[in-house]
Amino acid sequence: MSEQSIPLIDCCSMRLDPDTLGHSLCAAAQGHGFMRLRNTGLDATLLQRAFASSQRFFALPEAAKDRLRYRDIQRNHGYVAVGQEALDPLAAADRKESFTMRDALRRSSNDAAWPDPVFRDDALDLFTAARALAADLLDAMGRCLGLKPGHFAQHHQGENQTLRFLHYPPQHSGDAVAGAGAHTDYGSITLLWQDGNPGLEVSAADSTWMPVTADPDTVVVNIGDLLERWSNGLFRSTLHRVRPRHPQRSRYAIAFFSDPDDTVLVAPLAGCVPAHQTPLYAPVTAREHILRKLAASYG
Ligand SMILES: O=C(O)CCC(=O)C(=O)O
Ligand SMILES: [Fe+2]
Q: Give the structural domain span for 191.
A: 3-297
Q: How confident is the model at residue 139 (pLDDT cuts 50, 70, 90)?
A: very high
Q: Which atom of ligand 1 is nearest to the CA of 199?
A: 3
Percent of the chain with pLDDT over 70: 97
ipTM value for the complex: 0.99
Return the CATH number at 161: 2.60.120.330
Q: Which atom of ligand 1 is nearest to the CA of 168?
A: 1
Q: For residue 12, which of 3, 21, 4 has the smallest C-alpha distance?
A: 21
What are the helix (H) ranges across the chain? 11-14, 18-30, 44-58, 62-66, 117-144, 225-230, 286-297
Q: Looking at residue 207, what is its pLDDT?
A: 86
Q: What's the total number of domains in the chain?
A: 1
Percent of the chain with pLDDT over 90: 89
Q: Looking at residue 2, what is its pLDDT?
A: 42
pLDDT in tens, 65-83: 999 999 999 999 999 999 9
- Radius of gyration of the CA atoms of the chain, in A: 18
How far apart (Å, rounded) are the C-alpha atoms in residues 151 and 255? 23
Q: Looking at residue 17, what is its pLDDT?
A: 80
- Using most ligand atoms within 8 A of CB, pick from 51, 54, 87 the residue to mutate for ligand 1: 87
Cα 59 to ligand 1 centroid, rounded to whole Å = 20
- Using most ligand atoms within 8 A of CB, pick from 101, 222, 239, 240 the residue to mutate for ligand 1: 240
**By three-state DSSP, how is residue 18 classified?**
helix
Quick one: how far is CA 175 from the chain centroid? 24
- What is the value of pTM for the model shown? 0.97
Q: What are phi and psi of 26, to 5 degrees?
A: -65, -35
Cα 52 to ligand 2 centroid, rounded to whole Å = 22
Q: Which atom of ligand 1 is nearest to the CA of 98?
A: 9
Q: For residue 195, which of 165, 222, 239 has the smallest C-alpha distance?
A: 165
